[in-house]
A and B are shown apart, each in its own frame.
Chain A
Amino acid sequence: MAKFEPVLFARINKPDSTSLKSYMADGGYARIKDILSMAPADVTNIVKDAGLRGRGGAGFPCGLKWTFLPKDHPGPIYLCINADESEPGTFNNRILMEKDPHQLIEGIMIACHAIRSNSAYLYLRYEYGRSYRALDAAVKECYAAGLLGRNIKGTGFNLDIVLHRGAGAYICGEETGLIESLEGKRAWPRIKPPFPAIEGLFRKPTIVNNVETLCCVTHILYRGKEWFQSIGVPPDPNNPRDPGSYGPKLYCVSGHVNKPCCVELPLGVTARELVEEHAGGVWKGRKAKAIVPGGISMGFLCEKEFDTKLDFAGPGKVGCLGLGTAAVVVVDDQTSMVDVLFNCCRFMSHESCGQCTPCREGTAWMTKILTRIRVGQGRLEDLDLLMEVASSMGIIPGTTICGLSDGAAWPVKNAISKFRGDFEEYINSKRSTMTSAQQLMEVH
């Protein structure tokens, strides 16, 4: 197989990669006039036929989502760009926005044309100051160059992009939480249906797409659906419901590796290949004990599962929740899973929006139980209790409005079923191995 050449990341290491001039010198916006002159339904069909699946975590087919909008709606229709990237271990969208903002803006223009929207709101997490500055400058360049605003390039198409900064809340990455936050309210996810495509932002039809997804849209329109389908993993012929895992993907690798990185590869690389061939192997000559396949809410792979393909179907086959954000976090064999799981639970408890009782209480109690284990007062029954709590919360058991809760429960389920020995050993020792720095974390 020929060496894969990055597409989404093709420009990120160039000098001045963020400027309009440099983007256009590399062929950016060269065909935007032609694309904006196509029928919107034709653009949607190309994206749909390419098999592009959302890169934000759920993997929902992007073009199909666009077709859920009501036909002949008088408008306005909105596009929300989900740039609230906050799943622990994930930073691919940050690099895309910091280093190549015009690639995203062109994708936004194409998507808005396809869904017949004239206003796009880019919801950016507050912590991404550099992304904000790069995007703000790029949007201003576009207005000055007639690429945003009214009658873009004489096509009659109008588009405004508003940058909207969040205020530090993980739940704003959930699409209806994002919408509520944009509307000036607390980011409590909405009960669905109605889905945003029917009633979303300001009660109007709305599409919410992830940053990387929209960057893929740009390349699908320029290179064609055949190009996109030449990369990645085709649908499983034995599973008629599998839409496949086509296209390039940005994999983030962090934690106990020699060279933490974000690397663009065809969907379907294995966790082991990522660690060994792209992240310089496990640090300090150690071995990996566990690997998070796609952000902490997806759970953990244990050693015998490291050859799992990280495509949309792979992690689910070994008991993980899914591919998630494809953020791989490596845990070495000197680290206790008790500490790792505590960190995951504490995060989820902090970030639960508090709207649904099973999630608000479940995440808090799981954190408390793990705290008790960590201070050396755990009981073996605590492990069953943790499993019981984890099994009772989320969309899957049907007790919560959004999926945060499933993502909070999954690392618990995976950790205890795949690494039970770590927990039993810690509990049986009746001792706490916490350092002073860990204790500092504990009280807050």
Chain B
Amino acid sequence: MGVLSEELKNQIRDNFPKYPNKRAVVLPALHLVHDAMREVSTGAIVEIAELLELHPSEVHDTMSFYNFFKDEKHTLGKHRVWVCRSISCMLRGGEEVLEQVCNKFHIHPGQTSADGKVTLEFAECLGACEGAPCILVDDECHMDMDVESVSALIEKL
């Protein structure tokens, strides 16, 4: 029994016609697996490599460059919360927003809450500086955060 479902493998294969070679599908494949499984395990790397006709170490080499992808020792919680810590957010209270989220879930950046609900990370500039400080919850950016509004937001997760 493999790690990746046939459906997931087909979603990866759907990317092949977009590129002249299969190696270019490494990032799309990692995203698909990561989204579906909340991690990219060693077993998944081996199966991605098989599909893309690469050595597993080549897939791992690429994956490990991007902090974005988590292995099986760092499985993501249900939600991923990124708090921006770059300059525009820092100047307008981004660090305090991060501290608030840490206190709320009793975790540090990089950790997942005990109930598995939230993985907290810091982000480098999210490109939403007109609404600094900002945070990204999964795929949605929330702007103009402060200690109160971020509390209300994460309360609902």
Contacts and interface: CB of A to CB of B under 8 A. Distances in A.
Interface of A: 76, 85-91, 93-94, 125-130, 160, 162, 164-170, 181-187, 202, 252-256, 260-262, 292, 296, 327, 329, 331, 335, 339-340, 343-344, 347, 350-351, 353, 435-438, 440-441, 443-444
B20 interface: yes
Contacts of B141: 127, 129-130
Interface of B: 18-21, 23-28, 30-31, 52, 61-62, 64-69, 82, 85-88, 90-92, 95-96, 98-99, 102, 108-110, 122-132, 136, 139-141
B27 A165 contact: yes
Contacts of A254: 88, 129-130, 132
A220 B36 CA distance: 44
Given A125-B127, A166-B27, A252-B129, 6 more contacts: A93-B127, A168-B123, A169-B67, A169-B68, A170-B124, A252-B130
Contacts, number: 163
Given A435-B95, A438-B95, A329 B68 contact: no
A394 B126 CA distance: 25
A170 B139 CA distance: 18
* Chain A CB within 10 Å, residue with most, of B26, B82, B88: B88
B129 A90 contact: yes
A181 B130 contact: no
B95 A89 contact: no
A85 B126 CA distance: 9
Given A91-B129, A167-B69, A440 B98 contact: yes
18 contacts: A86-B127, A89-B86, A166-B27, A182-B24, A182-B27, A184-B23, A184-B25, A202-B21, A254-B88, A254-B132, A260-B131, A296-B87, A343-B85, A343-B90, A353-B65, A437-B99, A440-B108, A441-B98
Contacts of A256: 91-92
A329 B124 contact: no
A128 B127 contact: yes
B124 A350 contact: yes
B24 A184 contact: yes
A157 to B, nearest CB: 19
A435 B97 CA distance: 13
A397 B143 CA distance: 40
B88 A89 contact: yes
Given A260-B129, A444-B109, A126 B68 contact: yes
B25 A169 contact: no
Contacts of B68: 126, 167-169
Query: 3 tightest CB-CB pairs across the interface, nearest first?
Result: A184-B26, A186-B65, A129-B139
A126 B65 CA distance: 15
B127 A90 contact: yes
B87 A347 contact: yes
Contacts of B25: 184
B130 A167 contact: no
Contacts of B127: 85-86, 90-91, 93-94, 125, 127-128
Contacts of B140: 129-130
A173 to B, nearest CB: 11
Contacts of A252: 129-130
A166 B66 CA distance: 9
Nearest to A186: B65
B3 to A, nearest CB: 20
Nearest to A93: B127
Nearest to B31: A165
Nearest to B96: A437
Contacts of A435: 95-96
Contacts of B87: 88-89, 255, 292, 296, 329, 340, 343-344, 347
B114 to A, nearest CB: 19
B41 to A, nearest CB: 17
Given A254-B132, A256-B91, A444-B108, A168 B98 contact: no
A214 to B, nearest CB: 18
B129 A327 contact: yes
A167 B27 contact: yes
Among the interface residues B18, B21, B98, B123, which one has the most CB atoms of the partner chain A within 10 A? B18
A358 to B, nearest CB: 20
B88 A441 contact: no
Contacts of A183: 21, 23-24
B110 A444 contact: yes
Nearest to A350: B124
A184 B110 CA distance: 25
A86 B128 CA distance: 10
Contact of A329 (B26, B67, B91, B109): B91
